[in-house]
């Protein structure tokens, strides 16, 4: 492993960026990112960020007081060097930097040049970081590259024993499968393509899941149960056609589809408990079959028990031939609204 620690150095274009803050959550993200960099044969850029807090002074002398920047920076550098030592056994090129600034802003800027951005689901708070919590909520929605959120609950599957274990950690086996949620939107199809690439990289099968919420009073405009049965029939036909399309681009990949009658957030959170990776888009079309972003993706990220990759909306030329393979859900068919 070739590693360096510096300040203000941009990551290698196309590399993987991971944010660390010295927390158990950050360590899980670091280990996952190092393994992924080794799988992809890509360089890894480890970054920690800090801000200098300002306190309002009290007493007769009004004004503001600041903490010595050097002290905080030394703490950030210690976090970085510990992170680099942690992954010294991986066969990857690594560089690390300490950045001054808001962690979310720093990582968002780095996402413009990165291939993948990785971080934990919560941080330690305080000076060095907050790399999770508010940051982990902001990054998937605004990053320019795919992001992966790694929760502490999957520490055991990464071979980690955290100082403060997650009480919700799964002790059961992890199924060697990549799962992707879809709702029939182009955004979801982009996520499906990225999930297929990841499944090929891992050597695992891909499971495409579409969840349809149960009928409630909020869907009172649905005229009869028969329409719901027809909806399920239409979705199954669309999933089958989508599978053929995806297979044409990934002929050696084992692909299965699954239609689930249940709330999308609950279905997808459950999937994170046992899957190697769950992949979602940043926003969906709303309505029945999905809402894969916005509320659904946010809900999944807050309660996930395994790594979740969120793929930003972008164009992909492989979408152009989708219609050649059969029916596609449209808003009028499924009653979906943007």
The pLDDT of 15-40, averaged and rounded, is: 93
- Residue 219 in this model has a pLDDT that exceeds 70: no
Alpha helix locations (H) across the chain? 24-40, 69-86, 103-111, 134-142, 186-202, 225-249, 264-272, 295-303, 331-334
- Residue 66 in this model has a pLDDT that exceeds 80: no
pTM: 0.85
Q: How many helices (H) and strands (E) does the chain have?
A: 9, 13
- Residue 335 in this model has a pLDDT that exceeds 50: no
Name all domains of the chain by residue range, CATH numbers in brackets. Answer: 2-158 (3.40.50.620), 175-334 (3.40.50.620)
Encode pLDDT of 231-273 as tens digits. Answer: 888 899 999 999 999 999 999 999 999 999 988 899 999 999 9
Separation of alpha carbons 19 and 156, rounded Å:
20
Percentage of the chain surpassing pLDDT 70? Answer: 73
The pLDDT of 32-53, averaged and rounded, is: 91
The pLDDT of 311-338, averaged and rounded, is: 75
- Residue 128 in this model has a pLDDT that exceeds 80: no
Structure confidence at residue 286 (pLDDT)? 46
Residue 150's pLDDT band, with cuts at 50, 70 and 90, is very high
Residue 213's pLDDT band, with cuts at 50, 70 and 90, is confident
The pLDDT of 319-326, averaged and rounded, is: 94
Burial 242-265 (b: 16+ CB within 10 A, else e): bbebbeeeeeebebebeebeebbb
Structure confidence at residue 167 (pLDDT)? 61
- Residue 333 in this model has a pLDDT that exceeds 50: no
Separation of alpha carbons 178 and 160, rounded Å:
21
Residue 166's pLDDT band, with cuts at 50, 70 and 90, is low
Neighbours of 147 (CB within 10 A): 26
Give the residue, 135 or 147, on which the prediction is more confident. 147
Structure confidence at residue 196 (pLDDT)? 98
The pairing of beta strand 275-281 with beta strand 175-181: parallel
Closest CA to 140 of 288, 294, 323, 252: 294
Residue in this structure with the two tokens 């090129």, named with its chain if needed: 93
Instruction: Please tell me the chain's helix, strand, coil percentages from 3-state DSSP, rounded to the nearest 5.
Output: 40, 20, 40
Look at phi and psi of residue 225 and say left if phi exceeds 0, alpha if psi is from -120 to 50, else beta: alpha
Closest CA to 283 of 336, 247, 243: 336
């Amino acid at each position: 492993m070739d590693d360096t620690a510096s300040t203000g150095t941009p990551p290698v274009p196309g590399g993987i960026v991971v944010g660390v803050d010295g927390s158990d959550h950050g360590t899980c993200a670091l280990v996952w990112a190092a393994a992924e960099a080794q799988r992809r044969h890509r360089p890894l850029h480890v970054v920690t960020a800090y801000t200098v807090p300002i306190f309002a002074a009290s007493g007769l002398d009004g004004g503001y007081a600041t903490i010595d920047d050097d002290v905080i920076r030394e703490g950030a550098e210690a976090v970085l060097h510990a992170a680099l030592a942690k992954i010294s056994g991986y066969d990857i090129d690594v560089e690390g930097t300490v950045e001054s600034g808001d962690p979310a802003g720093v990582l968002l800027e780095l996402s413009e040049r990165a291939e993948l951005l990785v971080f934990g689901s919560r941080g330690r708070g305080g000076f060095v970081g907050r790399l999770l919590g508010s940051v982990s909520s902001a990054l998937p929605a605004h990053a320019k590259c795919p992001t992966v959120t790694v929760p502490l609950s999957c520490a055991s599957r990464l071979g980690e024993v955290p100082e403060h274990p997650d009480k919700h950690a799964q002790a059961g086996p992890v199924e060697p499968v990549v799962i992707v949620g879809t709702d029939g939107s182009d955004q979801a199809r982009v996520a499906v393509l990225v999930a297929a690439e990841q499944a090929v990289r891992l050597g695992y099968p891909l499971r495409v899941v579409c969840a349809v919420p149960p009928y409630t009073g909020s869907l009172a405009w649905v005229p009869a149960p028969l329409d719901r049965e027809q909806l399920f029939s239409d979705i199954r036909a669309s999933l089958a056609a989508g599978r053929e399309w995806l297979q044409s681009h990934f002929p050696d990949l084992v692909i299965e589809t699954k239609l689930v009658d249940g709330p999308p957030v609950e279905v997808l959170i459950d999937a994170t408990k046992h899957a190697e990776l769950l992949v979602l888009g940043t926003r969906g079309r709303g309505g029945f079959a999905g809402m894969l972003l916005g509320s659904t993706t946010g809900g999944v990220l807050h309660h996930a028990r395994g790594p979740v990759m969120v793929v930003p909306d972008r164009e992909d030329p492989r979408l152009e031939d989708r219609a050649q393979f059969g029916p596609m859900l449209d808003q009028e068919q499924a009653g979906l609204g943007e």
